[in-house]
């Protein structure tokens, strides 16, 4: 275990040459992995060190997880329906089968090692599928459009409420019983994966958070917590669990505050 835990955060998007504009004096367009900077920034603010994970072979995933203390699965494109035994829906969005394979293998390897996991939006869905669950491929078919799960507003803006379960991790971390969240998805959990429990719901019944049992942190939220300052405690939960502190967010905040004076003295000395 590290003083500042190492958190593996996957790159769940690929950008192909035709999607990347050529820049004057720049390198020629090529396949790129992509990750919004909000994720590593949230992990670092919470006291962890983000380790950004590209596409890896299975044997490399095993080696990686021997060296990190926790896993963060970010948002991204739809999961390929074949990963949970279904045919594609006509409204299925872009998918990245290579990314799916890496993230699903990563979750299963993290489960074998009992590493803490935090999944965000697609990351929650990947967590669920990796554990044998399934997804609704297009929410409007199920719940209609009275609640917009794919907002046009910026990610720092909340657009709907979710209700959290009593005694759930998400309620302990963020308060409750209701939270205001942002929303950027058209898919959602249908059947729950192994040892996952729904712990938050939108007003239309859509599952908005899932958690694992016991003391190990396994948590997924359907909203983009990395874009909401008030939801930073979710990343603090992850880094606290990865550091072996446990689930008291106050503990890691105290540990971080104790490090700041020393850091300031070092900066002044330099």
Q: What residues act catalytically?
A: 121, 224, 226
Q: How is residue 189 written in tokens?
A: 């959990």
Nearest to 105 by CA among 79, 131, 85, 80: 131
- Greatest CA separation found in the chain? 62
Contacts of 78 (CB under 8 A, 6+ apart): 92, 93, 94, 95, 122, 137, 187
Cis peptide before 200 (omega within 30 of 0): no
* Pair 183, 223: CB distance under 8 Å: yes
* Pair 191, 135: CB distance under 8 Å: no
């Amino acid at each position: 275990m590290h003083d500042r835990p190492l958190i593996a955060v996957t790159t769940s998007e690929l950008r192909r040459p035709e999607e990347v504009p050529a820049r004057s004096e720049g390198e020629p367009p090529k396949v790129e992995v992509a990750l919004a900077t909000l994720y590593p920034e949230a992990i670092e603010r919470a006291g962890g060190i983000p380790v950004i994970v590209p596409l890896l072979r299975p044997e490399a995933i095993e080696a990686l997880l021997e060296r990190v203390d926790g896993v963060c699965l970010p948002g991204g494109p739809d999961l390929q329906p074949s990963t949970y035994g279904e045919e594609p829906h006509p409204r299925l969005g872009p998918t990245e089968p290579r990314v799916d394979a890496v993230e699903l293998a990563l979750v299963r390897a993290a489960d074998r090692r009992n590493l803490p996991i935090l999944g965000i939006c697609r990351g929650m869905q990947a967590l669920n599928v990796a554990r044998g669950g399934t997804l609704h491929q297009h929410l409007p078919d199920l719940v209609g459009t009275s609640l917009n799960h794919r907002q046009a507003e910026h990610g720092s803006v909340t657009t709907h409420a979710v209700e959290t379960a009593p005694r759930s991790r998400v309620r302990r971390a963020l308060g409750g019983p209701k939270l205001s969240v942002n929303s950027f998805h058209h898919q959602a959990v249908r059947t729950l994966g192994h040892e996952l429990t729904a712990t938050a719901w939108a007003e239309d019944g859509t599952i908005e958070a899932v958690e694992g049992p016991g003391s190990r942190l396994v948590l997924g939220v359907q909203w983009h917590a990395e874009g909401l300052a008030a939801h930073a405690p979710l990343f603090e939960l992850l880094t606290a669990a990865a550091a072996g502190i446990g689930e008291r967010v106050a503990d890691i905040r105290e540990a971080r505050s104790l490090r700041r004076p020393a850091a300031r003295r070092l900066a002044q000395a330099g």
